[in-house]
A and B are shown apart, each in its own frame.
Chain A
Amino acid sequence: GIQVEQSPPDLILQEGANSTLRCNFSDSVNNLQWFHQNPWGQLINLFYIPSGTKQNGRLSATTVATERYSLLYISSSQTTDSGVYFCAVDTGRRALTFGSGTRLQVQP
């Protein structure tokens, strides 16, 4: 099956800093989504982004499907951004395959 690799696995930031999270995948995809799992376990959908660039407030994402990677940018990080960020892809079977996540801790 498809391999989804996320980097870095862990990240510690000071409040106000910017960061870039990366997702590499091993095969062509027709669906890519980014999720944030907060410290209480709730998964929130951030972006549906099979290709191109999207922005939502301090967050933006870019997927370069031809090169099989996606990037999630977090600007001016806040403590509420802490948690685990997951990238998930679909190769056509319709069920998303999740990466192992990037654990982000934003310190005040």
Chain B
Amino acid sequence: GAGVSQSPSNKVTEKGKDVELRCDPISGHTALYWYRQSLGQGLEFLIYFQGNSAPDKSGLPSDRFSAERTGGSVSTLTIQRTQQEDSAVYLCASSLGVEKLFFGSGTQLSVL
């Protein structure tokens, strides 16, 4: 597609439920990143995929968080047993190699 697409744009869930967030990167981009941004804060790195290499999971805050990238394209970030502190905007970005990152519009996650 023309840009990075994320869905849903908003997600409200109850504490303890699992959620899945989806990211469609720009076609042809080999690198895909997940970040999260709490209200008024900077961006926190979560996970990075590059081609067929093993993902860099060093930013995942706990084992409740996981992500996969199927066929080198679409990625899904899964949060199990959501907690209130998981509430944030989850941002996906893609790039061609080491060049400019392009971000999607994000998914606003609210855990009640």
A interface, CB within 8 angstroms of B: 30-31, 33, 35, 41-45, 48, 86, 88, 90, 93-101
Contact of A41 among B31, B58, B93, B105 (CB under 8 A): B105
B73 to chain A, nearest CB (A): 18
7 residue pairs of the A-B complex, CB under 8 angstroms, read A48-B100, A86-B43, A88-B43, A90-B98, A94-B31, A98-B43, A101-B42
The reply to whether A42 and B50 contact each other, CB–CB distance below 8 Å, is no
Residues of A within 8 Å of B58, CB to CB, are 93
**Docked pose: A43 CA to B35 CA in angstroms:** 12
B25-82 at interface with A (beta carbon < 8 Å): 31, 33, 35, 41-43, 45, 48, 50, 56, 58-59
Residues of B within 8 Å of A45, CB to CB, are 100-103
The reply to whether B103 and A95 contact each other, CB–CB distance below 8 Å, is no
Other 18 A-B pairs with CB < 8 A, given A44-B103, A90-B98, A97-B45:
A31-B98, A41-B105, A41-B106, A43-B103, A48-B99, A86-B42, A93-B48, A93-B58, A94-B98, A95-B48, A95-B56, A95-B59, A96-B33, A96-B45, A96-B101, A98-B35, A98-B42, A100-B42
Tell me the interface secondary structure of chain B in the complex. strand
B80-105 at interface with A (beta carbon < 8 Å): 89, 91, 93, 98-103, 105
The reply to whether A42 and B101 contact each other, CB–CB distance below 8 Å, is no
Residues of A within 8 Å of B41, CB to CB, are 100
Tell me the interface secondary structure of chain A in the complex. strand
The size class of the interface chain B forms with chain A is 20 to 34
**Docked pose: A100 CA to B45 CA in angstroms:** 13
Contact of A43 among B45, B91, B99 (CB under 8 A): B91
The reply to whether B42 and A94 contact each other, CB–CB distance below 8 Å, is no
Of A86, A93, A99, which is in contact with the most chain B CB atoms at under 10 Å from its CB?
A93
A106 to chain B, nearest CB (A): 19
Q: Which 3 A-B pairs have the closest CB atoms?
A: A43-B103, A98-B43, A95-B48
The reply to whether B45 and A95 contact each other, CB–CB distance below 8 Å, is yes
**Docked pose: A24 CA to B106 CA in angstroms:** 27
